[in-house]
Structure 1
Amino acid sequence: MVSRPNVVVVVMDTARARDVVRSAHRETRLPAIDRLAEEGTEYTNAFASAPWTLPSHAGLFTGTYSSKHGAHAGHKHLDEGLPTLAEAFRSNGYETVAVSNNTWISEEFGFARGFETLYKTWQYVQTDTDLGEVARTKRGSEMVRALAARLLDGNPAINAANAVYGQFFRKRTDDGARRTNEWLRGWLADRSSRKPFFTFVNYLEPHLEYHPPRALAEQYLPNGVTYDDAMAVSQDAWAYITGHESHTEADFDILHGLYNAEIAYLDRRIGDLRGYLEATGEWEDTVLVVTGDHGENIGDHGLMDHQYSLYDSLLHVPLVVAGGAFDGGGRVEDLVQLTDLAPTLLDAADLDAPAMRESIQGRSFHPDANADPRTHAIAEYMAPQPSMDALREQVGPLPDGFPYDRSLRAVRTDDDKLIRGSDGTRERYEVRTDPEESTDLADESSDRVAELETVLDDWLESFEHSEASGSVSMTDATKDRLEDLGYL
């Protein structure tokens, strides 16, 4: 029995609440997550602080918002200065381990601080040189030339092993979850330390592109649609958003089916992870968090992927916490944010961490914290990602009046929401009665818009903003992989 609990944080990359949180309209069958929700506490109104991976994870790791931590499309790095959860746990005697399936969550972008081990599943042998993208996307003589150009970077033998792994062994029906679990199972079985552990896991499913196993996909596709039919539907988000491709409602039904199958697949892997914790005798001493870093637009608001907006389809995420004081908590409908996880987990482990607690903007929702419920949630989108120039390079000319070259901020209460753009736009939705945010009431409710703007402005004036700016250097291999994921 450890004196302090283990803490495991699992991020289902790109998992939106509507397809994970238990409800009458949810289509997915998620026995592992549902079991955790039934035994622990399910927070049905949890919101990310940003709509994409890098700033959202930075907020989760530091308990702060994009304006304060400074990691966003304008500066793609979590700089030193703000303490992270991993640093706080490590300095308090925890073993700290991370497994990442998303290139953003790596040392290159500042996310390794505090972790004794950071395991990257896209590499067969852990190294700073990544040839996996070449092996996955090139064919024939083109692949040979591309590999030859990079093999001499770093260790040629390791690079070759990673290239072979990417070409022949890393299946496209698994974005790393299986290998993640194999590594975690071995680590849990082999560890001899009596220290408690803080473990972070980013599973990439259900991120675009959707490639679920055929058998699962066939359970969620519309009637009459085969797996081959589904895989023929374009998943080029940027071509769709810029009008270079069109999709029908039936196409989006198919994509939604593939997305649900990805979530169902990941549910199995989360169930396996729980099994490993049970088999090694760690489960009873573990607080397990399952959440999403952001959601996804699958035709929602005329968009695909998870950029260019702050609608709830991108911000509303699942959040389940099981173990310790969270067991038997039922369903909690209070507003919470991913920025609140940092102080909550410090409380769960009874860590002082004064430097981190001083910098945190989130508030603990630990059952023993006795904190007042949130009156509002905040989200920020500091700059478009990909940029307009990157979009033009990817798909060609942008349509006249293309509206997404802007930053956004949003403030949301239980009842309504304001989205404010740097281009002067204002959108207001009564989210309690219009959860799809289909009817913009900004022009009809100027007084309420002004009230919400005051809340937002007062919040912005309440803290010192990061001055981090400018581009961040990254290796060609990392650029290639991020491009493969659709980010660049």
Structure 2
Amino acid sequence: MTNIALVVLDTLRKDSFDEHFDWLPGTRFENAWSTSHWTVPAHASLFTGKYASEVGVYSGAESLDYPGPVLPELFSDSGFETRAFSANVNISKKFDWHRGFDWFEGSWRLRALDENVFDWDEFITNNRDRGPERYLSALRQCVLGDCDTVPSLKRGALMKMRDLGIGDETRDDGATRALDLVREWEFGDEEFLFVNLMEAHSPYAPPEEYRDVEPPEIDSLEATYRSEDVDFEHIRRAYDGSVRYLSDMYRRIFDELRTDFDIVVTMGDHGELLGEHDACGHLYGIYPELTHVPLSVWTGGSETTVRDEGVSLLDVHATVLEAGGLDSKRSRGRDLREKRADSDWLTEYHGIADRHSQSLANKGITDIDELKRELSGFARGKHYFYETFDGYDGAMPPYDDPTDRLATLLADRRRRHVEEDGEIDDAVLTQLEDLGYA
């Protein structure tokens, strides 16, 4: 009987993990690589053991409509109780990421998806200079506008309370709720638990006691194209405060998990640009700051060990299946509990979704053809060779010509071509905008 927990610390950089998570026991993988630069394709790999291009889940096609079995379905079919908590709008029932879960709980953001709420984020952005009377205008629109009045008023109050650090659920982006759930749930003997925590993600708004600076009011892609106007030091300090809070909250969550679970995998799905390459966020390229991720596998005890071989998020898929006694032959990954020689692992950039292009166009930024390109790279051990918007960067000592090896790896993929998702409803779009995804 084995209980398995898989925890994604969304948007956590490897260097920030090293600085703030020294308390976390387990085997740490110094050279772990994501398959992509943002949440949806990385989770597609995590749930299927394949590259996102093979699954057909990436920017613009974000629903988990893959016809093959996904991780929680495999566990459920084998008799495991399957539970999930997600604070990420992208990993929600709206996009079919609840497949295979007996229980799928969400943060306040996910619960807001079912409501037609007033767009407080856009209103605040457009009325920042109006002073207190702007709130009277917002109240009138909540009452008289084309939205659900009570949920809209609650949403405004929730945002204000979150900014003030008041209340349990409004204190953060979901870690408090996740802690409550792992304390409330009565775990049995065969459990698979998936958790996604968003405290390291923008808008970088931790509770007041963790703030050295106020949360920056930025759109990451706009800031990237207008980097001369951006205070990157302010952004880095805001991000660091968010990570410190995440570390303290996850320590409490992990202490609960270790009493009920035999294996706890803790990982980042991607990193974040904090001024490197004159860019912000994680929608611009596949730079190593985005694809080099933290990864720890705990199987008991209080020791911390370090391994240096290169591994991939694809290996996490295989590892949790094997730990549960399930067949991992469908996976491209390998069991991380066994030491293996270095392999070559692809990274993918699929271009941005149309809603991002439209958002930039609305702000007068139209010369963005580069963002619509596909880019690729590959990692081996500590080395990383990748395509940029201007050519190639990085190094790959085992190969005289890394571009030839990259072409071979790309040819080995069996791509799944899909239609893009249809129009996203207003409630989802509002939450995506708040997180910088629209």
Q: Distance in 2 between matches of 1:455 and 1:266?
A: 38
- Change over 3 Å in CA distance of 1:431–1:240 after alignment to 2: farther
TM score, norm. by length of structure 1? 0.78
1:428 aligns to what?
393
- Change over 3 Å in CA distance of 1:463–1:269 after alignment to 2: same
Q: Distance in 1 between matches of 2:329 and 2:118?
A: 41
> Where does the alignment leave 5 or more consecutive residues of structure 1 unmatched?
219-226, 433-446
Deviation at 1:203, TM superposition (A): 0.9
Deviation at 1:178, TM superposition (A): 4.0
- Change over 3 Å in CA distance of 1:198–1:165 after alignment to 2: farther
Secondary structure at 2:372's aligned position in 1? coil
Q: Distance in 2 between matches of 1:184 and 1:205?
A: 17
1:72 aligns to what?
58
Question: What is the aligned counterpart of 2:72 among 86, 89, 93?
Answer: 86
Question: What is the aligned counterpart of 2:221 among 238, 241, 255?
Answer: 238
Q: Distance in 2 between matches of 1:476 and 1:358?
A: 40
1:312 aligns to what?
288
Secondary structure at 1:335's aligned position in 2? strand
Q: Deviations over 1:86-121 (max 9, x none)?
A: 111111221111111110000121211011111111
Equivalent pair of 1:124/1:165 in contact (CA under 8 Å): no
Question: What is the aligned counterpart of 1:392 among 333, 337, 360?
Answer: 360
TM score, norm. by length of structure 2? 0.86
2:308 aligns to what?
333
Deviation at 1:331, TM superposition (A): 0.2
Q: Distance in 2 between matches of 1:288 and 1:245?
A: 42
2:350 aligns to what?
382
Secondary structure at 2:348's aligned position in 1? strand
Deviation at 1:473, TM superposition (A): 3.9
Instruction: Report whether the alignment pairs 1:343 with 2:340.
Output: no
2:176 aligns to what?
179
Q: Distance in 1 between matches of 2:421 and 2:245?
A: 36
Q: Distance in 1 between matches of 2:22 and 2:304?
A: 14
Q: Deviations over 1:393-430 (max 9, x none)?
A: 3421335x874331111112236433236x7x531323
Equivalent pair of 1:123/1:130 in contact (CA under 8 Å): no
Equivalent pair of 2:377/2:385 in contact (CA under 8 Å): yes
2:136 aligns to what?
140
2:132 aligns to what?
none
Secondary structure at 2:50's aligned position in 1? coil
Deviation at 1:137, TM superposition (A): 5.4
Instruction: Report whether the alignment pairs 1:257 with 2:237.
Output: yes
Q: Distance in 1 between matches of 2:281 and 2:190?
A: 37
Deviation at 1:387, TM superposition (A): 5.8
Deviation at 1:360, TM superposition (A): 1.8
Question: What is the aligned counterpart of 1:468 among 418, 421, 424?
Answer: 418
Structure-to-structure mapping, 1:37-436, within 5 angstroms: 37=25, 40-122=26-108, 128-129=114-115, 131=117, 134=120, 139-146=135-142, 149=145, 159=151, 163=155, 166-167=158-159, 169-171=161-163, 174-188=171-185, 191=186, 194-218=188-212, 227=213, 230-231=214-215, 234-243=217-226, 246-247=229-230, 251-277=231-257, 281-282=259-260, 285-324=261-300, 328=303, 330-352=305-327, 357-367=328-338, 372-385=340-353, 389-398=357-366, 403-414=370-381, 416-420=383-387, 425-430=390-395
Q: Distance in 1 between matches of 2:371 and 2:428?
A: 25
In angstroms, what is the RMSD of aligned CA positions? 3.1
Equivalent pair of 1:48/1:315 in contact (CA under 8 Å): yes
1:454 aligns to what?
404
Q: Distance in 2 between matches of 1:465 and 1:20?
A: 33
Question: Which residue identity is paired with 2:411?
Answer: E
Deviation at 1:13, TM superposition (A): 1.1
Deviation at 1:476, TM superposition (A): 1.3
**Aligned residues with identical type, % of pairs:** 26
- Change over 3 Å in CA distance of 1:105–1:42 after alignment to 2: same
Point out the more displaced range, 458-467 or 296-305. 458-467
Q: Deviations over 1:365-418 (max 9, x none)?
A: 223xx6x3233221001112466632433421335x874331111112236433
Secondary structure at 1:46's aligned position in 2? strand
Equivalent pair of 2:273/2:289 in contact (CA under 8 Å): yes
- Change over 3 Å in CA distance of 1:59–1:394 after alignment to 2: farther
Q: Distance in 2 between matches of 1:77 and 1:131?
A: 23
- Change over 3 Å in CA distance of 1:360–1:147 after alignment to 2: farther
Instruction: Report whether the alignment pairs 1:10 with 2:2.
Output: no
Structure-to-structure mapping, 1:19-34, within 5 angstroms: 19-21=16-18, 26=19, 30=20, 33-34=21-22
- Change over 3 Å in CA distance of 1:131–1:311 after alignment to 2: same
- Change over 3 Å in CA distance of 1:205–1:178 after alignment to 2: closer
Q: Distance in 1 between matches of 2:235 and 2:112?
A: 33
Q: Deviations over 1:186-212 (max 9, x none)?
A: 433xx2x63422111111111111122
Q: Distance in 1 between matches of 2:188 and 2:49?
A: 28
Number of matched pairs: 423
1:221 aligns to what?
none
> Where does the alignment leave 5 or more consecutive residues of structure 2 unmatched?
125-134, 166-170
Question: Which residue identity is paired with 1:34?
Answer: D
Q: Distance in 1 between matches of 2:217 and 2:156?
A: 28
Secondary structure at 2:306's aligned position in 1? strand
Deviation at 1:135, TM superposition (A): 8.2
